[in-house]
């Protein structure tokens, strides 16, 4: 009698097997830091609602060595997050000009352009450029 | 011409005598221009007649010789020895049940292909007196790359989402659905959406992108799936805003 077709198990460490999976997992993990940033902002808003003193204590905590370390980590991860996703956008939204597909870099560049414009607007609104 | 000695380490599974697969090594004298399939055929012809593997055309057209070579799924007829080291590990495609040696079960893949209705579903018969559906070259270009699939299953072998959940329709089937959805002669997107736009369809894909990296025909299933996600999201909001438009969009010709 024959044994049944053999199904190879998929170990929990499957993503360590190939560089492409590790890179994918890093890209996915960066979203945790983006989420963390949103959480920090929420705490800030909450502390603001508690009055001036509470908000200043929050700002002080942000500027503490630990706070700076966390902010730096968030910044680096958010940049990796944005860059890796921007680089994938040509696949999701191909641009057809007549019968020709526009080169992917145009779509990527448009995203960087949009990022820049939004960043400038946010900085202007926050008074960061004055 | 002098032969290059190559060690082929092949994963073997003989269901009549083994309960799990084991590696077996063969030392093969190879010619410079050979591909891995030639080396396997050398083994079959000269060293071990019991070694089983599928192949047919030997020119990257039939899609039957897909296997994992040094951790990468590829067509063994396209895997040139000149690009590979002296020690080559050959395994059956990942994520599929192994039937024997390098042959895996095709059943699930065939079911997935069928489930996306991979054929033209026109809304109404053509008005053209000669019975044909005309298409411009611009319209053809929109879907042609997605029509190049040869069903080699390399993309499923490298897709962790399919490995973790075999309910996932998978890269090639979803690329094929997109091939028809993007065809100007086709009106079947709504008929395919139950499978395609479901949790085990496009939404199971997390854009690992490995499928597109390994596809020997440059089909780019990852792109097809992301484009379908956008189209499906637009459909969802259209249905939300205009629920009555939905039924009309279903093609009459679809009886399944
Ligand atoms: S999409 Fe590419 S890798 Fe997947 S089955 Fe088709 S030809 Fe093979």
Please indicate, yes or no, if residue B252 is contained in any of the structural domains: no
Look at residue B171 in the predicted model and tell me its pLDDT.
98
User: Looking at the structure, do residues B8 and B41 belong to the same domain, yes or no?
Assistant: yes
Structural domain contains residue B251: no
- Domain boundaries A14-93, corresponding CATH code: 1.20.1300.10
> How are beta strands B98-100 and B87-91 bridged, if at all?
unpaired
Q: Is residue B254 a part of any domain in this protein?
A: no
Q: Do A91 and B223 touch (CB under 8 A)?
A: yes
Of chain B, the end-to-end C-alpha distance in Å amounts to: 59
> Which of B104, B136, B153 is the endpoint of a domain?
B104
Q: What is the DSSP letter of B2?
A: P
| pLDDT tens digits along A50-109 | 999 999 999 999 999 999 999 999 999 999 999 999 999 999 999 988 888 899 999 999
| pLDDT tier, A31 (very low <50, low <70, confident <90, very high otherwise) | very high
* Cβ pair A6:B13 closer than 8 A: yes
The three-state secondary structure class of B4 is: strand
| Nearest CA among B190, B185, B256 for reference residue B228 | B190
Count of structural domains, chain B: 2
Q: Which of residues 34-63 of A touch B (CB under 8 A)?
A: none
Of the three residues B58, B83, B104, the one that is the final residue of a domain is B104
CB-facing half-sphere around the CA of A107: CA atoms within 13 A: 17
pTM: 0.90
Contact: A101, B20; criterion CB under 8 Å: no
Tell me the DSSP string of A56-102.
HHHHHHHHSHHHHHHHHHHHHHHHHHHHHHHHHHHHHS--EETTEEP
Same domain assignment for residues B230 and B111: yes
Whether residues B51 and B113 share a domain: the answer is: no
In A, which residues are within 8 Å of B229 by CB distance? 92
Percent of chain B with pLDDT over 70: 95
Task: Report the residue of B208, B210, B221 to disrupt the A interface, i.e. the one with the largest count of A CBs within 10 Å.
Answer: B208
Q: Do B15 and A5 touch (CB under 8 A)?
A: yes
Please name the member of A88, A92, A99 whose beta carbon is closest to the beta carbon of B227.
A92
Provide the CATH number for the domain around residue B90.
Answer: 3.10.20.30
Report the pLDDT value the prediction gives residue B245, as an integer from 0 to 100.
63
Asked if residue B248 has pLDDT above 80, the reply is: no
Q: Are residues B153 and B165 in the same domain?
A: yes
pLDDT digits (tens, 9 = 90+) for B159-218: 999 999 999 999 999 999 999 999 999 999 999 999 999 999 999 999 999 999 999 999
Contacts of A99 (CB under 8 A, 6+ apart): B137, B138, B141
Q: Which residues line ligand 1 (CB under 6 A)?
A: B 149-155, 171-172, 175, 215-217, 219, 221
Q: Is residue B141 in some structural domain? A: yes
If you ran DSSP here, which 8-state letter would residue B43 be given? I
Domain that holds residue B42: 4-104
Q: How far does the CA of residue B136 sit from the closest CA of chain A (Å)?
A: 10
Which of B69, B104, B139 terminates a domain? The answer is: B104
Q: Is A5 on the interface with B (CB under 8 A)?
A: yes
């Amino acid at each position: 009698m024959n044994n049944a077709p053999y199904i190879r198990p998929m170990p929990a460490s499957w993503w360590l097997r190939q560089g492409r999976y590790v890179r994918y997992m890093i890209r996915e993990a960066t979203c945790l830091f983006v989420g963390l940033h949103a959480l920090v902002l929420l705490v800030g808003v909450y502390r603001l609602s508690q009055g001036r003193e509470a908000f200043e204590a929050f700002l002080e905590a942000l500027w503490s060595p630990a706070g700076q370390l966390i902010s730096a980590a968030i910044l680096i991860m958010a940049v990796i997050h944005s860059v890796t996703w921007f680089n994938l956008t040509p696949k999701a939204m191909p641009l057809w000009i007549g019968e020709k597909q526009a080169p992917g870099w145009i779509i990527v560049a448009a995203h960087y352009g949009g990022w820049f414009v939004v960043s400038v607007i946010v900085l202007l609104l926050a008074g960061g450029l004055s | 011409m002098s032969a290059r000695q190559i060690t082929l380490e092949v994963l073997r599974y003989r269901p009549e005598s083994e309960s799990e697969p084991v590696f077996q090594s063969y030392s093969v004298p190879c010619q410079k221009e050979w591909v891995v399939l030639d080396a396997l055929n050398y083994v079959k012809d000269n060293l071990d007649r019991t070694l089983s593997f599928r192949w047919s055309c030997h020119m990257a057209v039939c899609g039957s010789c897909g296997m994992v070579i040094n951790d990468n799924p590829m067509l063994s007829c396209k895997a040139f020895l000149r690009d590979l080291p002296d020690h080559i590990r050959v395994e059956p495609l990942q994520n599929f049940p192994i039937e024997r040696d390098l042959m895996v079960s095709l059943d699930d893949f065939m079911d997935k292909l069928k489930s996306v209705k991979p054929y033209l579903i026109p809304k109404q018969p053509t008005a053209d007196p000669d019975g044909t559906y005309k298409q411009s070259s611009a319209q053809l270009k929109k879907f042609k790359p997605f029509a190049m699939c040869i069903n080699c299953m390399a993309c499923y072998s490298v897709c962790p989402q399919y490995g973790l959940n075999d309910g996932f329709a998978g890269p090639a089937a979803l690329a094929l659905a997109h091939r028809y959805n993007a065809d100007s002669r086709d009106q079947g997107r709504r008929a395919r959406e139950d499978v395609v736009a479901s949790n085990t369809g496009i939404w199971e894909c997390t854009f690992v992108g490995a499928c597109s990296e390994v596809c020997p025909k440059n089909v780019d299933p990852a792109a097809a799936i992301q484009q379908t996600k956008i189209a499906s999201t637009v459909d969802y909001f259209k249905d939300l805003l205009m629920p009555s438009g939905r039924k009309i969009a279903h093609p009459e010709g679809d009886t399944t």
